[in-house]
Amino acid sequence: MKNKIILMSLSLLLTMSALTGCFAGNAKNTTNTSSTATNTSTATNTSTNTPAKSAGGFAEAPMLQELVKAGTIPAVEERMPVKEDIMIEPTFESIGKYGGDWRYPWNGPDDKWGIEMITEEPLFRFKQDGTGVEPNVAKGYDVNADATEYIIHLRKGMKWSDGVPFTADDVIFYWEHMLIPETFGKALYDCYYSVNPETGEKERAEITKVDDYAVKVVFKHPSVQFLERLAIDNKWFFAPAHYYKTILPEFIGEDKALEVAKEYGFNDTKTLGIWTGYYFWLYPQRPSLRPWVAKNDANSDRFIMERNAYFFKTDSEGQQLPYIDRIVLDKMQDPSHKLLGTLAGNVEVAQFSFKDFTVLKENEKKGNYRVLSWTSPSWSSTGFQLNQTTEDPKLRALFQDIRFREALSVAVDRKEISEIITNGLGEPSQAAVPKGLPGYQEGWNKQWVEYDKARAEKLFDEIGLKWDAQHKYRTFEDGSDLSILIYQEKSADDEKYIELLRKYFHEAGIRTELKIVDQGTFFDLKYANKIPATVKTVTLVNVALRPDELVPLRVITPWFGHYGLYSSSGGKEGVKPEGDIAEILTYWEKIKASTSKDEIAKYSEEIVKLHQKNQWVIGFTAATPTLTVVKNNIKNVAPDLVNSDEFRGLGVAHPAQFYFE
């Protein structure tokens, strides 16, 4: 008899206990201790136009009622899982009303992740209170005592957005025809491997179908964080088999698949697989399980996502979610348009960095919105990264010299950065794990923080950097020009901060250049190892659950550049990690091979300590909140959640239960 348990990360629990008060206290999630995940809500029904209930006790949006009357779609009872398997989504404030368009600014398909997080429905999701994961698309799970065998239960009668049943076959199809053959251009995720504690050998899991509504995942060695890792690495552990069998070369042949690719606007079948397999929410042709699904071309000036008639969740009153009819994404010509549109009251819900705090607060009444401060687990609000594998060999040697990173750090007056960029609310600080998070090190935030131009010059002299003939800029020891090119994403809007950095770097004798590129170009340059420096920080709750920004497992963040490519390619490409970088990877392997949460916490701490020692990511001011701006007529948005990638940004508020008052 298998023991049924819920696995939680010890470190994550410590994090959340320290952040008490930062989460939405009224959003309730039940703990799932059996194969059925049933959520409850104590919200009050304040709606004045609650739709009439169907014979089965359900209500649906008026726009869907019309489609049912016209015979376009089946009755609501036929579109949802069997009654006992329907997921009841907790509401934050009150039972909602149907209708309305959520206007949301974006930069086109390159800006895909914002809308992805809003609409995401993973197999398992993190709870709002941070105490582990809970079933979502999955109904529940069983796990044995040593965490080597998991059975994942699905919801009987659940359907894709085109009405085709969602079953275990869709999970197995995804595993066999998309994950293993890397159809969407990604290597198999770490969550599907267990590690031999004795040899460090990595073994792939076996995944098999139990029945139409259950799959079994079997590891050779314990995998105590499988569900948490799944919720991060590969949250969409499923795909509509019936759809992909009509577009993939494996099923229809290369020639026919190429025709399909061209219909989608691609020149080859590989690109078709990547975009429809990994960025699938952008395509109206691709069935989905999300509350809203694409209705037109994402390259349009206005991209529409409309409610999914087959969505599997209701509120506690039996009203099928989502409440809001559509998300309307108007393409911005300039990043400033997002702020201007919000100030004018033309955006329902959107998020901003803290640099916009003053102007947003000053215009709250005029724009008819409220500004909510969500906690950020960032190491800094103003970061700076030097690519440790940058292509230029002289720059690479310089960037890898810890004295150079210290010199740049002390060459900057953090008090001025704090006042100008964060209005004094981001205190002068080094990039470090914030107090209360796993891996916090006492005093780290004070490392190299004192403004000391003389110290910077001494360190540059020790390194061997010379002055040019005008004694204005430093050169390499051989007299050749030294210049650092800083890349910035166009949408990031960090020009004022970068100009302040450049001022201080220039005063210290380090010439810098700035190049602004769009998000897609930045992504491509990052993967090509062509970003020498950038102004990004580190944001994560727990390295054991989200190692990507601290551990070079793949190309993800500029500071470790192509160390990540070396890892993801199995040593076939990239730059081989050495020294402390290689040590980080050794500790990560130990985490994966751990058989207890205590071991995981121990090795996670060692990774963080290596970051403290080396300060690969420099910061100048402490983390500031993420600003979630909400129109006053939008309800059910919690005021105090944690904004992190692990919890899926704005998605942690469960937008399907947002509504217009």
Kindly state whether residue 155 falls inside one of the protein's structural domains. Answer: no
- Please report the pLDDT score of residue 336 as a whole number: 85
Domain region containing 503: 383-619
Kindly state whether residue 632 falls inside one of the protein's structural domains. Answer: no
- Please report the pLDDT score of residue 19 as a whole number: 37
The pLDDT tens digits for 141-170 are 999 999 999 999 999 999 999 999 999 999
**Sorting pLDDT into bands at 50, 70 and 90, what band is 417?**
very high
Lowest mean pLDDT among 37-46, 60-69, 314-323, 506-515: 37-46
Considering the entire predicted model, what is its pTM? 0.77
Per-residue DSSP letter, 52: P
Per-residue DSSP letter, 179: I
What is the mean predicted confidence (pLDDT) over 459-475? 97
Kindly state whether residue 475 falls inside one of the protein's structural domains. Answer: yes
pLDDT of 305 above 60 = yes
The pLDDT tens digits for 344-366 are 999 999 999 888 899 999 999 99
508 by DSSP, 3-state: which?
coil
The pLDDT tens digits for 370-413 are 999 998 899 999 999 999 999 999 999 999 999 999 999 999 99
The pLDDT tens digits for 38-67 are 333 333 333 345 677 877 789 999 999 999
- Structure token digits, residue 246: 């009509």
What is the mean predicted confidence (pLDDT) over 319-335? 93
What DSSP line would sit under 74-122, residue for residue?
--HHHHS--GGG-EEPPPSSEE-----EEEEEE-SGGGHHHHHHHH---
**Sorting pLDDT into bands at 50, 70 and 90, what band is 210?**
very high
| Total domain count, the chain | 1
Burial class (CB in 10 A: 0-12, 13-18, 19+), 81: buried
- Please report the pLDDT score of residue 10 as a whole number: 32
List the CATH number of the domain containing 489: 3.10.105.10
* Cβ pair 466, 477 in contact under 8 A: yes
- Structure token digits, residue 276: 């429809």
Burial class (CB in 10 A: 0-12, 13-18, 19+), 454: exposed
* Cβ pair 436, 427 in contact under 8 A: no
What is the mean predicted confidence (pLDDT) over 513-541? 94
179 compared with 186, residue with greater pLDDT: 179
653 by DSSP, 3-state: which?
helix
Lowest mean pLDDT among 242-251, 280-289, 486-495, 525-534: 486-495
Residues ≥6 apart with Cβ < 8 Å to 580: 610, 613, 614
Kindly state whether residue 424 falls inside one of the protein's structural domains. Answer: yes
pLDDT of 634 above 90 = yes
Give which of 582, 558, 557, 579 is closest to 571, Cα–Cα: 582
Residues in the chain: 661
- Structure token digits, residue 273: 């697989």
- Please report the pLDDT score of residue 16 as a whole number: 36
pLDDT of 488 above 50 = yes
The pLDDT tens digits for 635-659 are 999 999 989 888 999 999 999 999 9
In angstroms, the CA 599 to CA 590 distance is: 8
**Percent with pLDDT over 70 in the chain:** 92
pLDDT of 11 above 80 = no
